[in-house]
Structure 1
């Protein structure tokens, strides 16, 4: 626990929601057996988007008998159910596709973890249709978790790109939030950025903060992490202490940034002029930990 913040908000997507049963991925007899079980549940995707029945307002799990043709991907065991995803070439009739972002603020933690696993694999399959080493065709192996090149034999595994996400605080116990130009009016959140080659996580925090808002940070403390398949990130959260407080936004990634006291945050959020991070994002966990309780207002 961070000693400065006795209320440490949970990170929804860091929970152990399902057993990935990696040892079963090459067990063809077992895979066929559980696929034949009507109690097995399947999430259907197309082009890494969720396939949702017309009229429904959330992702829908179906039985294997009701799943369309497509690449089967084993997600794992959830309670007494086995869960799969099917990567369909076309969405079935009577359905529509929705991006995961449409649901990340409404899914509960367990369903979100399963759904993010499925979307991350769908994104990987969509971007690795050929061997990146020799350009050869690939064959799917290990229930969707390995691609093997038919030409050079090299195996490809799902990729995760590390990114840092941080809440910066200053000596007056204010927190720094920024916004992007394309966001709805009043929406502010934590700063974030990708880790560059040869860079530590702490170095990435300091570089991204200085690049985006011109603030120099010193102490950097680890908070937690969560998967974030947009398209293939692992978001690693930190608190960072500011050595300087003057703001100079880059105008590209960040269009505006502000320091907030808790009183300012509460008043503006309750008035509806400040929209704070919501749902299952680690950004909400970071801000809520600093705030000391449930955030006011809405995303």
Structure 2
């Protein structure tokens, strides 16, 4: 815009213009900075006001003041009103962390919203998925953001967890509505199964060993693997078992040797014949004669 300035004094004056009511002096520019006028002379100043959409003035009507004065004489000045209407410029940004959530039945996200426009915004959060099998819970669901304000919300998604098999990848979209302004962010939800493939293999192996134990005990005993003791309690138990087995074997061996060393049961001997029927050496005593058992 252009300002027309006239020197109504009787001397030569210098005049400069500036704007009152803006949050910063960087928002206006005047060319030239100072104009020199003789008495009754008229000059022109070009004024430019620029209000940024983000980080500037809030949308709405304003009354500014245009002040023209002499930099050398404070008594020489003039002020005029300038109406200004700042149009609304909504700007909403949304950030989601993490973009990929891992879990079983539920997953968690954090939404960060920032109002980078020049007007207050009432934001409502929602979520959708293509399969319509994911539920969404927001805390809070509705937020009011002033210009330059940042706020967050906790999001919990839930879906039926697969029983077995591989991981289930589900895609979803989180939305923030603020009037005609809509911001979307795609996210992913990776669900692990309740029973993984490794547990299924272990169950099949255990079932096979159980069948072998019932059908062929010898094969099952051959397939069994004994693990070494790892804890002190297991080592003490194993050493006590060894001592008990050793003492049992020692008792059995002693019993066997005692049976072998014990003399045989003697049977009653036959009466010896009379002396005149038996010819014995003169020095042989009867106690040295060994009786044989009767047949």
Greater helix proportion: 1
Q: Which has the larger radius of gyration?
A: 2
TM-score relative to the length of structure 2: 0.23
Bigger RCO (CA 8 Å, 6+ sep): 1
TM-score relative to the length of structure 1: 0.23
Greater strand proportion: 2
